[in-house]
């Protein structure tokens, strides 16, 4: 197949770029090595839309963070993605940290972050009654928000697909040739596609993808961050995103509500060998527990329902790298997109759009471009009347499969046949929340596997958790 643009990597960055470029009358391929979109860092992060006072003034990170945060609320509304503007607080425990708050405020103002304010102890404890009594004050950033990062990625990719972009899953790029003004992008499996331009949005692997055209300029360090996710019964323990003062390894351990009402705490920060190790460790999680207790002393740490880890793509240049490659200007690197990459992603997409228009020249726009995607049914959010009406139309919405999160069979069936169908248990989980609750799919997992098998006409033995060899049933006992 031949395309104008091939985008490698269907994380939040690649998917939002695909959506942005899908408004032009050109052929686009979005290529992903995994069984689904949002399988890299975009599914495992703090899910904070940062206000923008962390990055150094004058960097791309600072500029695109503030611009992205400004765009995010409207974008989420347009795509029907959960988003809440709850604000953030960086807390200080001593006078030295109070001075850090002043520097962060100054930096934020230089970065054009609106609505920043330093508040004293009384106001802080009024806003956050469960915060440590030792906290002296905080930097309050009203524009900080929380979002569902994997749903944003999925929604962006779905919107791109609706507008004609072709998604290739399980396509692990292992070779790229350039001949006759055209790239041939080859997968490990032998499959190949041609494209006039390539956008490298492969996250932690964007250094490897660049090296396939002989561009060795990108140096990335894999920095793992581990988290604890707590049960919804802890909901309300904090109302804002609570940060501690940042260190040279990052923004430190935060405590935050999620858009779904859980409490998330983490991440740790540890440079690792290799790029794929997303295991969690007792050492790092104990560290997360300790730092969480500094901020919120009586948080019930026995309410943890799961732990997970994500990998930061830390560039040794300490900034985002978004530019045509020096080796081939038709190859655009979008690399080193570590935090605040999620917040910046909507603005990164606009920035890349400008680069593509500069490189490719004026592009014709589609007569009809759809800016959204069909929003999924979220049964748990409906009123009794709405639920009844839905069940009358389709009784599958009357069958609760995941009791922890109130997810119905109808929603799981929808996910199996959506614009980008879920192909495995984790795909269903990210689209519907079946398995995201307290039991972590202990009860609903087998039923969800049966529904996938039935709907996708796949043998139950072939149903997987996340593609590859992660089969959930290993054999028949009877
Ligand atoms: C611990 C942690 C906390 C964070 N917290 C926040 C936060 O609160 N707020 C914020 O703004 N940012 C945060 N970030 C940063 C944010 O998560 C990332 O910047 C963002 O998700 C990067 O998106 P991406 O699309 O570039 O990368 P990814 O989501 O990793 O996407 C890259 C995709 O490329 C695919 N790929 C790789 N190699 C190949 C190949 N050979 N062929 C085909 N496909 C390939 C991968 O499978 C993957 O799907 C955090 C990051 C971490 C690790």
Q: What residue ranges define each of the domains in the chain, with the CATH number in brackets?
A: 2-42+150-219+317-360 (3.50.50.60), 85-145+221-314 (3.30.9.10), 379-462 (1.10.10)
Q: Which of 202, 249, 318, 468 to mutate to test the pocket of ligand 1 (most atoms within 8 A of CB)?
A: 202
Quote the ligand 1 centre to 378 CA distance (angstroms): 26
Closest CA to 165 of 370, 456, 414, 418: 370
Per-residue pLDDT, 444: 96
Question: What three-state secondary structure class fits 142?
Answer: coil
Taking a C-beta distance cutoff of 8 angstroms, is the pair 59, 47 a contact? no
Ligand 1 atom nearest residue 267's Cα = 1
For residue range 276-305, what is the model confidence (pLDDT) as tens digits?
999 999 999 999 999 999 999 988 878 999
Which residue pairs from 454-462 have beta carbons closer than 8 angstroms and sit at least 24 positions apart in sequence? 455/412, 455/413, 455/416, 455/417, 456/416, 456/421, 456/423
Ligand 1 atom nearest residue 209's Cα = 41
Alpha-carbon span 327 to 317, nearest angstrom: 18
Most distant pair of Cα atoms in the chain: their distance: 68
Is this structure's pTM higher than 0.75? yes
Quote the ligand 1 centre to 21 CA distance (angstroms): 20
List Cα–Cα distances, 25 to 280, 372, 373, in angstroms. Answer: 44, 17, 19
Average pLDDT over residues 67-85: 98
Confidence at 249, pLDDT banded by 50, 70, 90: low
Ligand 1 atom nearest residue 204's Cα = 30
Taking a C-beta distance cutoff of 8 angstroms, is the pair 65, 343 a contact? yes
Quote the ligand 1 centre to 41 CA distance (angstroms): 3
List, chain by chain if needed, residues with CB within 6 Å of any ligand 1 atom: 8-14, 31-34, 39-42, 45-48, 50, 172-173, 201-205, 209, 225, 267, 310-312, 337-343
Percentage with pLDDT > 70 across the chain:
99
For residue range 49-62, what is the model confidence (pLDDT) as tens digits?
999 999 999 999 99
Residues with catalytic function: 50
Q: Closest Cα to atom 26, ligand 1: which residue?
A: 203
């Amino acid at each position: 197949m031949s395309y104008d643009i091939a985008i490698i990597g269907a994380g939040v960055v690649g998917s939002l770029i695909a959506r942005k470029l899908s408004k032009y009358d050109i052929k686009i391929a979005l290529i992903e090595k995994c069984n689904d979109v949002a399988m890299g860092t975009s599914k495992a992060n703090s899910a904070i839309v940062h206000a923008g006072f962390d990055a150094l003034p004058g960097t791309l990170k600072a500029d695109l963070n503030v611009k992205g945060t400004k765009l995010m609320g409207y974008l989420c509304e347009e795509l029907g993605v959960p988003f809440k503007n709850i604000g953030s607080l960086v807390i200080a425990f001593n006078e030295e940290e109070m001075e850090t708050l002043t520097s962060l405020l100054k930096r934020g103002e230089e970065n054009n972050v609106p609505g920043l304010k330093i508040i004293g102890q009384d106001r802080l404890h009024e806003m956050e009654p469960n915060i440590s009594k030792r906290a002296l004050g905080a930097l309050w950033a009203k524009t900080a928000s929380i979002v569902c990062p994997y749903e944003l990625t999925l929604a962006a990719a779905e919107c791109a697909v609706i507008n004609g972009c072709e998604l290739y899953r399980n396509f692990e790029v292992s070779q790229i040739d350039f001949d006759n003004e055209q790239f041939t992008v080859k997968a490990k499996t032998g499959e190949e596609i041609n494209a006039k331009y390539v956008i490298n949005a492969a996250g932690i692997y964007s250094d490897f993808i660049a090296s396939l055209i002989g561009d060795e300029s990108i140096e990335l360090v894999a920095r793992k961050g581990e988290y604890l996710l707590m049960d919804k019964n802890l909901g309300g323990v904090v109302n804002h995103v609570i940060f501690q003062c940042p260190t040279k390894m990052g923004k430190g351990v935060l405590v935050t509500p999620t858009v779904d009402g859980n409490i998330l705490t983490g991440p740790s920060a540890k440079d690792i060998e290799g790029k794929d190790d997303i295991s969690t460790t007792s050492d790092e999680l104990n560290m997360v527990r300790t730092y969480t207790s500094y901020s919120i002393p009586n948080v019930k740490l026995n309410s943890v329902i799961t732990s997970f880890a994500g990998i930061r793509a830390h560039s040794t240049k300490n900034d985002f790298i978004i530019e045509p490659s020096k080796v081939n200007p038709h190859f655009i690197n979008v690399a080193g997109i570590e935090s605040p990459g999620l917040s910046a992603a909507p603005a990164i997409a606009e920035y890349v759009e400008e680069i593509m228009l500069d490189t490719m020249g004026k592009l014709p726009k589609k007569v009809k471009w759809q800016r959204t995607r069909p929003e999924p049914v979220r049964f748990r959010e409906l009123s009794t009347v709405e639920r009844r009406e839905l069940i009358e139309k389709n009784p599958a919405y009357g069958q609760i499969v995941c009791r922890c999160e109130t997810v119905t069979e109808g929603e799981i069936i929808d996910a199996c046949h959506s614009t980008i169908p879920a192909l495995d248990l984790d795909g269903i989980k990210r689209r519907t929340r079946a398995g995201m609750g307290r039991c972590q799919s202990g009860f609903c997992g087998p039923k969800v596997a049966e529904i996938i098998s039935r709907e996708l006409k796949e043998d139950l033995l072939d149903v997987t958790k996340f593609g590859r060899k992660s089969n959930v049933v290993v054999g028949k006992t009877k």
